[in-house]
Amino acid sequence: MQEIETDYLIIGSGAMGMAFADSLLTESKADMVMVDRHAKPGGHWNVAYPFVSLHQPSAFFGVASRELSRFEKDKVGFNKGLYDLASGAEVSSYFDAVMQQTMLPSGRVRYFPMSDYKGEGVFTSLTGGQETRVRYKKLVDATRLTVDVPAEHSPAFTIAEGVNFMPLNNLPTLQAAPEGYVVIGAGKTGMDACLWLLQNGVAPDAIRWIMPRDAWMLPREFAQNSEEFFVDTFGNQANQFEAIAEAENIDDMYDRLEKAGCVVRFDQNIRPTMFHAATISRPELNALRQIKNVIRMGRVSALEVDKIVLDDGVLETGPDIVHVDCSASLARTMVKAAPSPVFEGDVITPQTIRSFMPVFSGSMIAYVEAHYDDEDEKNRLCNVVPLPNKAEDFVPMTLAAMMNQFNWSQDKPLRQWVRNNRLDGFTKLTNSVAPDDKEKMDILARMRDNAPKAVGSLMKLAEQIDG
């Protein structure tokens, strides 16, 4: 067994691990060893479905030292008029370039792909079988937020022999049009599968969409980080603070958020019970609403050749109908992703410390690690923002994120670093508003005046949930 030494042993070269390593490289002189089971960096992007893309503008994604976005607005398609969403292929190429052109040439990062971490500083090569022991000062577990993806998960239902079944990764391999499609799952992958089918000539009536839970979603037009979209983006933020500040209970909060345009849903007659922070454009929402055969009968328990067994009933099906698996569940991922302290002795566990922004979170955790010594202070600045699953999870998520934002604003060096970090996306825009720009200054004043009220309301709503 060979032995090597390093300052930081980083397990996982997915998006968060890469963002952490990139900022630690910039903010310190530390040496790092990165270990990952995949052949290339990027985590689950290595096995993502061929037509996957980011759901938020590319400017928010990647690592701090290297731009991903083209800063071009899409001219066609469901994202027309909004800033570019990198494809899966672009994201994979990007992370490979970061490793090959930034990290490895630094001489302070050693990368071991196709390697299985066994624990206690030991990993095994999946190709050559060699074992390596790493003597490290700190261990970085960048696998906590590893997501359950269609290509790698096992469905939570039985599948009889003869059922025409595939993960959505296989949709582009179709050689002939089937009689119809059944899309199983209503999360981001289910949305993507339905949109891909619609874009590729499938009639809405040929799609049956099994939707165990309806979801609240966020309009993508309000997540555009450019001067051109300032009024829409920050006006939406002000609207959100005002809606939350006045809310009397969870349902009232969502009613107010929906009326203000801050959230949307598929069906106005059905109150969603899920919130995964999915973003969606107005054209995407309109397209998905064309699918009228939405099955709300709970989860699938069995696929038979002639029927689909669900929690609340049975559907007819047949061998000429393609059943598309989009059931990889955030809920199952969250079992192992329960929040724990980011800093705990010689272990660092990167997690989300700003809602919707895992890579910014990884980057900032590295900054805090490099510049702060007291563990309690580091954890105070990097308080975990819990991942949302149920609709009411919007409350603890937003409360934790707003408290973090306040704490950061009180630390001048950290505040300046956030402003200059390209992954932040927004702070530089708000700080560059001219004092005589009344429209923008009024929006910022609404945000400032209502933020404390929103925090107070969120605390009361959190008590209602806990009670």
Give per-residue pLDDT as tens, 345-396: 999 999 999 998 999 999 999 999 999 999 999 999 999 999 999 999 999 9
**Confidence at 329, pLDDT banded by 50, 70, 90:** low
Determine how β-strand 2-11 pairs with β-strand 131-141: parallel
Paired sense of beta strands 274-280 and 307-310, if any:
unpaired
Domain locations in the chain?
2-146+336-389, 158-332, 405-466
Percentage of the chain exceeding pLDDT 70: 97
Confidence label for 337 from pLDDT (cuts 50, 70 and 90): low
User: For all residues of the chain together, what is the average pLDDT?
Assistant: 95
Q: How far apart are CA 108 and CA 30, in angstroms?
A: 7
- Predicted pLDDT at 336: 53
Six-digit token pair at 106?
């630094």
Kindly report the CA angle at 239 between 400 and 448, in degrees rounded to 5? 65
The pTM assigned to this predicted structure is: 0.95
What number of other Cβ atoms are within 10 A of residue 174's Cβ?
12
Q: Collapse the DSSP code of 440 into the 3-class scheme (helix H, G, I; strand E, B; otherwise coil) and give the result.
A: helix
Question: What pLDDT does 154 receive?
Answer: 85
* CATH number listed for the domain at residues 2-146+336-389: 3.50.50.60
pLDDT higher for 273 or 151? 273
pLDDT at site 189: 93
Cβ neighbours for 347, distance < 8 A, ≥ 6 positions apart: 138, 139, 140, 141
pLDDT at position 428 is 86
CA distance 164 to 391: 33
Query: In residues, how long is the chain?
Result: 467
Cβ within 8 Å of residue 303, ≥6 positions away: 157, 158, 159, 160, 163, 165, 309, 317, 323
Q: Quick one: pLDDT at residue 256?
A: 98
Region 165-170: mean pLDDT is: 94
Closest CA to 328 of 202, 129, 157, 171: 157
What lies within 8 Å, CB to CB, of 113 at 6+ separation is 13, 36, 38, 39, 40, 41
Tens of pLDDT, residue by residue over 221-245, are 999 989 999 999 999 999 999 999 9
Confidence of residue 146 (pLDDT cuts 50, 70, 90): confident
> Cα separation of 462 and 396, whole Å?
7
- Residues 94-123, mean pLDDT to the nearest whole number: 98
| pLDDT of 330 above 60 | no
